[in-house]
Structure 1
Amino acid sequence: MEPKMPGFGDFSPVSYQLPDPLDLRVQVTEETDLRSLTPAQLYELNQNYLDDTVPSSQPPISELAPLSTLRTEYEGSSGSFIKQIDFLIQQGYEGIRRSRGDGDCFYRSLIFAYIERIFSQEDRKVAVDSSVSTLQDFLPRLREVGFKDMVVDESYEIPRDLIRGIIDPEPVSMSTNGTTLTPAHLLREFQDESTSKYLVTFMRMITSTQIQGEPETYEPFLTHPDTGETMGVKDFCRIVVEVLGKEADHVQLTALSQALKVNLKIAYLDGRSQDGRVEFVSFNYASDGKETPLTLIYRPGHYDILDRRSSEPLPINPSP
């Protein structure tokens, strides 16, 4: 029996080798049955769609927008995708927060959702302390696998200060004018290119460290994303995980959700469902199994944040 990645079953969004792009090009209309396309063709189709519809000036993280805006973008090209978007709306998902499609979208989406959820916690101080502790506990492990002290410290300070800033106006790495962090401040910080890179870098470092800490769990699933060849843990982390711009596969999703101790749910939007239903894949690593999961939406090659709100919360200054 072949091994399966814990918490992921048979779902593997990007675990295939892409053939020559010239072999993938397909003309898609409303009548096209996307179930007839290969995973690689779906990947190529979505990448072409992102290239055509996403402006080059898109910030690392965008404001919440109604999910209906995504529906509008698919009109005239794919009835299957529209059915799945309608299904999500019927399930109460009304908003999408887009992450720039630059290969870092998974890491950026997850850390944004990880921090933003603290605003909705009943006891923010407990949530802040717990989140900071989770990140801080990784620092010695990061050094053990070979990350330099300066890189570790500089990368850690940004998420630490953002999280602490929710209840403490003192962190110096933020421009909140002496107030505690608001949702509007959080979005602004994530839209800063430098801050975004530090956050993604730290998430990649944590993911790498988690994989290296459990080689027997992850090594059976490590393959080169371009060649499909098997890889050792250290090479996989060095070439695939730690480099900015490299897309995340099921291994990285599992490792980072496990490292952050969160429940994560992925809505898999592939346009191949006959009845429009969307498959949700769950990673449950929170100590409290009933904890509300962070929810992302996956289209072949890309992750965004799925939300039950359709617009930004009021930019009020939250009280601790």
Structure 2
Amino acid sequence: ELRSSYCAVRQTCADGSCFYRGMAYAYLESLLGKRQEILRFRERVMKSSQELLAAGFPQEMFEHCHDAFLSIIDMAERDSSGTLLIRVFNYQLLSDNVVLYLRLITSAFLRNRADFYQPFVEEGLLVSDFCIQNVEPLSAVCDHLQISALTQALAIPLQVEYVDSKDNATNQHIFPEGAVPSIYLLYKQDHYAVLYRRSDQEAQP
């Protein structure tokens, strides 16, 4: 079923951060050669630091990974072939800065809207506790709540193809609901990977 819509899969490291790493790579790759879109995204990432400050995160806690993320975005603006982008995301120390910042943004978005998200977390657990346990640690896996928060925080609509490992049945979910996805991810056997649509084939390496 997926083969009719997608032509390729790019695997990600299975370290608990596969969603964040896959999302960041896929989105930056989709922006290669699109200078104005890259600049708009850079502006969103710059402003996102206000979300962290509002949530109570001290600037010294996120300043390094925030600046590192901006540097990678600047690199993507100059890297029309995607060669440097692949190199950066294959170097864990660099890509972990992106992952950490995305986790902090997700946490801040949830914390700043705790009243709304409280009904969606485990009973007896505050949103802040949920973030400490299930969002901020680099090993914490990502679920619907985190995806919903991050896609809204950075305005990155995406589609996840969920594949049942028992019968290979697929189920699509778009975040945020009703949006037009700009990137596509595969979720199978507790792991996220990047999907390439057939219509995008010529643009992929």
TM-score by length of 2: 0.89
* Counterpart for residue 103 of structure 1: 16
SS in structure 1 opposite 2:50?
A: helix
Among 44, 63, 73, which residue is 1:153 paired with? 63
* Counterpart for residue 106 of structure 2: 207
Counterparts in 2 of 1:159 and 1:239: CA distance versus 1, 3 Å: same
* Counterpart for residue 279 of structure 1: 171
Distance (whole Å) between structure 2 residues aligned to residue 188 and residue 312 of structure 1: 18
Alpha-carbon offset, residue 182 of structure 1: 3.4
* Counterpart for residue 7 of structure 2: 94
SS in structure 1 opposite 2:138?
A: coil
Question: What residue identity is the alignment partner of 1:284?
Answer: P
Give ranges in structure 1 of 5+ residues lacking alignment.
Answer: 1-86, 169-179, 224-228, 315-320
Alpha-carbon offset, residue 193 of structure 1: 1.4
Alpha-carbon offset, residue 285 of structure 1: 7.1
Counterparts in 2 of 1:277 and 1:293: CA distance versus 1, 3 Å: farther
Larger Rg over CA atoms: 1
Distance (whole Å) between structure 2 residues aligned to residue 114 and residue 217 of structure 1: 27
Q: Quick check: 1:183 aligned with 2:97?
A: no
State whether residues 143 and 152 of structure 1, in contact with CA within 8 Å, keep that contact through their aligned partners in structure 2: no
Among 257, 261, 268, which residue is 2:155 paired with? 261
Distance (whole Å) between structure 2 residues aligned to residue 256 and residue 149 of structure 1: 20
State whether residues 161 and 184 of structure 2, in contact with CA within 8 Å, keep that contact through their aligned partners in structure 1: yes
**Equivalent residue pairs, number:** 203
Aligned sequence identity (%): 27
TM-score by length of 1: 0.59
Question: What residue identity is the alignment partner of 2:38?
Answer: V
Q: Which structure shows the higher helix fraction?
A: 2
Question: What residue identity is the alignment partner of 2:32?
Answer: F
Among 83, 90, 93, which residue is 1:194 paired with? 93
List aligned pairs for 1:300-319, cutoff 5 A.
300-308=189-197, 313-314=204-205
State whether residues 166 and 182 of structure 1, in contact with CA within 8 Å, keep that contact through their aligned partners in structure 2: no
Question: What residue identity is the alignment partner of 2:3?
Answer: I
Alpha-carbon offset, residue 115 of structure 1: 0.9
SS in structure 2 opposite 1:281?
A: strand
Distance (whole Å) between structure 1 residues aligned to residue 124 and residue 17 of structure 2: 23
Question: What residue identity is the alignment partner of 2:108?
Answer: T
Among 3, 8, 31, which residue is 1:118 paired with? 31
Q: Deviations over 1:236-270 (max 9, x none)?
A: 11121101111011110101111111211010111
